[in-house]
Amino acid sequence: MAGPAAHGETFIGPTTATNRLLVPTNSAIIITATLGDFTNSTQIQVNGGFAFTQSYFAPLQNGTVYAVPGPAELIFPNPMLFTFYRLTNSGILFQGIANDPIGVPVATNTTIHLFGVPSPVGASFTRATTASGGTLSFTLQPNQPAEFTGPGTLYLNSGVLPPLGTFISYFVAAPGCILPGQQAILGPTGNYAITLDQSADLNTWSPIWMETTSNPSRAFYRLRVQR
């Protein structure tokens, strides 16, 4: 069964009263291109709370994407361009990061996959000694993939003082599998996103694989499941 194709959108700033990039509740945007000046300017407001300013939005490379789940608004005082895709019921999670360290717990046998970070983030991953653990400190860098499997806690620090801040977006990755079915799905031409989602209740969906692509002609895709 195939759902409707995810079509790309492009937002051109700056933000005005009639030109706003809003992310509704129960949805998310996957950002695939960032062009413009984002130094100490772009603001992100989540759940109607404080709008914190990003110190930077690194240009995307190597297929990396940013993700922002709703409800949220991205505010751009400078001329800029974002290209993005919208998802609903995505299961993508958001964590704002200030100068004080904040922890993201990762349960046993659970893997979290991080989307791209817009600027370097000081981090460490800690596992209790009772679970054969320890602590490693490192820096999350833009355009570098990151995954962490529990048990453990990912601690994060922006390294900048308010009103500056940064964020991570992530999802809980499902165990990988090779999926059979000999059904082929015909994709559209042009720019679009191919996403494999998983759900336990057909209501909330979490992406377990995503790829953005540009095809001058139509292409075929298939999903295979086998033991």
- Shared domain check, 10 and 89: yes
pLDDT reading at 227 higher than 60: no
- Shared domain check, 58 and 82: yes
Residue 179 falls within a domain, yes or no? no
Residue 158, domain CATH: 2.60.120
Domain span at residue 201 reads: 184-222
- Shared domain check, 169 and 116: yes
H helix or E strand, kind and range, residue 218: none
pLDDT per position as a tens digit, 15-29: 999 999 999 998 899
- Shared domain check, 126 and 188: no
**Number of structural domains in the chain:** 3
- For residue 51, how far is the Cα from the chain centroid? 19
pLDDT per position as a tens digit, 55-109: 788 888 877 889 999 999 999 998 999 999 888 877 889 998 888 889 999 999 8
> In 3-state terms, what secondary structure has residue 130?
helix
Specify the pTM.
Answer: 0.73
Nearest CA among 30, 25, 39, 26 for reference residue 9: 30
H helix or E strand, kind and range, residue 57: none
> In 3-state terms, what secondary structure has residue 183?
coil
Domain boundary among 132, 149, 173: 173
